[in-house]
């Protein structure tokens, strides 16, 4: 069998979502960029957290074009910034975003902080400056498997929006008697508390009578929808694991609690699949001549659990 091309995985066994019409691509580089909040530009450049920088702006320690900046002030291409004895020029650069696959264990909650003190899915992720991780869809505390994380809010919203029909595939072990009638009901749709719901595909995946495995696919992500669908047929989900979200598969060699970052090309494919164009340009800070080039340090500080290699071609191009 010929070796698959880079960044391409085998086709899924189940039908995929309908691809949204591609949006007209905008140039990735332009001379002008809409103004952005000053503290956002500075945080993205790694000069500190937004909260800390807001305090510095309030104290008059940040200058824009040789004048004290005010809280909430925006900056645009060509502006000059002075802070902590250094000077920068605001420039327009190609936008950068990050995405990764996290193999969520059971027992973790999909929230940034939990009043009960339970571990969260964000605890193990790499720390980043000037951005934050966004979970593309949620998994409840008893569900494990693929959780796609991204700094790209536009991509996250598009992948979660029902109109784009991005499919989610789950492996589930079912306790109880399953017959053809029950499977037909789940394919055709049943009424839940929050409206009609159905699996777009159901495939048996082994097991024994009374304790069988199935792979099911949904085109939406309502709360505990997989469990509620099976419960409507008087059976119970005893184990649930997400194995695919759109074109992203859960790598077999990615252990529980570990994450693996996607490449820039992977990210581009995900955006194309939901009809998004190239990542928009963003404003950045370029050190002025004669001042220490602190901007050369990596914006992203890679910490946390060991990161797997991304060679396994995680994203499937349609």
Predicted pLDDT of residue 174? 96
Predicted pLDDT of residue 208? 83
One domain for residues 102 and 81: no
Burial of 216 (0-12, 13-18, 19+ CB in 10 A): buried
Instruction: Give dist(CA 136, CA 149) in Å, integer.
Output: 6
Instruction: Give dist(CA 170, CA 176) in Å, integer.
Output: 18
One domain for residues 266 and 143: yes
Residue 54 host element (H or E) = helix 50-58
> Residue 54's domain is classified under what CATH number?
3.10.290.10
Name 207's bridge partners.
Answer: 212
One domain for residues 158 and 104: yes
- Asked if residue 134 belongs to a domain, the reply is yes
One domain for residues 265 and 148: yes
One domain for residues 227 and 87: no
Name 260's bridge partners.
Answer: 101
Instruction: Give dist(CA 285, CA 93) in Å, integer.
Output: 9
Which sign, positive or negative, has the C-alpha torsion 82, 88, 93, 98? negative
CA geometry: angle at 22 spanning 16 and 28, to 5°? 125
- Asked if residue 287 belongs to a domain, the reply is yes
| Cβ-based neighbour number of residue 130 at 10 Å | 20
Instruction: Give dist(CA 121, CA 104) in Å, integer.
Output: 7
One domain for residues 135 and 265: yes
pTM here is 0.72
Instruction: Give dist(CA 150, CA 100) in Å, integer.
Output: 6
One domain for residues 145 and 268: yes
* 17-47 tens-digit pLDDT: 333 333 333 434 445 668 999 988 888 887 8
> Residue 188's domain is classified under what CATH number?
3.30.2350.10
One domain for residues 130 and 264: yes
Instruction: Give dist(CA 6, CA 286) in Å, integer.
Output: 34
CA distances from 95 to 121, 166, 198, 272, 278 (A): 26, 24, 38, 16, 9
| Cβ-based neighbour number of residue 246 at 10 Å | 25
Catalytic residues, by residue number, are 140
One domain for residues 109 and 240: no
| CA torsion angle 213 217 223 225 (round to 10) | -60
Predicted pLDDT of residue 290? 58
Helix axes of 153-160 and 264-273: crossing angle, nearest 10 degrees:
40
One domain for residues 143 and 262: yes
One domain for residues 144 and 287: no
Tell me how far the alpha carbon of residue 125 is from its chain's centroid.
Answer: 12
Sole residue written with tokens 């469990």 = 227
Count structural domains, the chain.
3
- Asked if residue 49 belongs to a domain, the reply is yes
Residue 85 is part of which domain span? 36-95+280-296
Instruction: Give dist(CA 218, CA 144) in Å, integer.
Output: 16
- Asked if residue 19 belongs to a domain, the reply is no
One domain for residues 173 and 228: yes
- Asked if residue 315 belongs to a domain, the reply is no
- Asked if residue 31 belongs to a domain, the reply is no
Q: List, for the chain, all residue ranges whose pLDDT scores fall below the cut of 70.
A: 1-33, 290-318
- Asked if residue 22 belongs to a domain, the reply is no
Is residue 299 within 8 Å of residue 45, measured between CB atoms? yes
């Amino acid at each position: 069998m010929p070796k698959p091309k880079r960044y391409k995985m085998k086709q899924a066994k189940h039908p995929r979502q309908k691809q949204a019409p591609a949006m007209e691509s905008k140039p990735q580089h332009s001379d002008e960029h809409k103004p952005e909040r000053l503290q956002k530009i500075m945080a993205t450049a790694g000069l500190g957290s937004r909260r800390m920088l807001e305090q510095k702006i309030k104290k008059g320690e940040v200058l824009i074009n040789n004048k004290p900046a005010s809280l909430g002030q925006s900056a645009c291409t060509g502006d000059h910034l002075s802070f902590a004895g250094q000077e920068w020029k605001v420039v327009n650069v190609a936008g950068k975003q990050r995405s990764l696959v996290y193999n969520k264990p059971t027992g973790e909650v999909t929230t940034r902080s939990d009043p009960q003190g339970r571990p969260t899915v964000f605890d193990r992720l790499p720390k980043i400056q000037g951005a934050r991780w966004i979970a593309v869809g949620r998994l409840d505390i008893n569900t494990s498997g693929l959780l796609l994380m991204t700094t790209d809010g536009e991509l996250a919203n598009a992948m979660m929006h029902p109109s784009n029909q991005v499919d989610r595939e789950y492996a589930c072990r079912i306790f109880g008697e399953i017959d053809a009638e029950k499977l037909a009901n789940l394919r055709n749709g049943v009424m839940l508390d929050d409206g009609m719901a159905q699996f777009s595909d159901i495939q048996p995946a082994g097991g024994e009578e009374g304790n069988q495995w199935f792979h099911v696919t949904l085109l939406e992500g309502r709360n505990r929808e997989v469990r509620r669908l099976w419960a409507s047929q008087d059976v119970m989900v005893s184990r649930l694991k997400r194995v695919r979200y759109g074109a992203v598969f859960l790598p077999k060699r990615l252990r529980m609690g570990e994450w693996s970052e996607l490449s820039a090309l992977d990210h581009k494919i995900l955006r194309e699949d939901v009809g998004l164009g190239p990542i928009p340009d963003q404003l950045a800070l370029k050190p002025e001549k004669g001042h220490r080039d602190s901007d050369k340090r990596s914006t992203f500080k890679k910490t946390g659990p060991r990161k797997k290699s991304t060679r396994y071609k995680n994203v499937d191009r349609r």
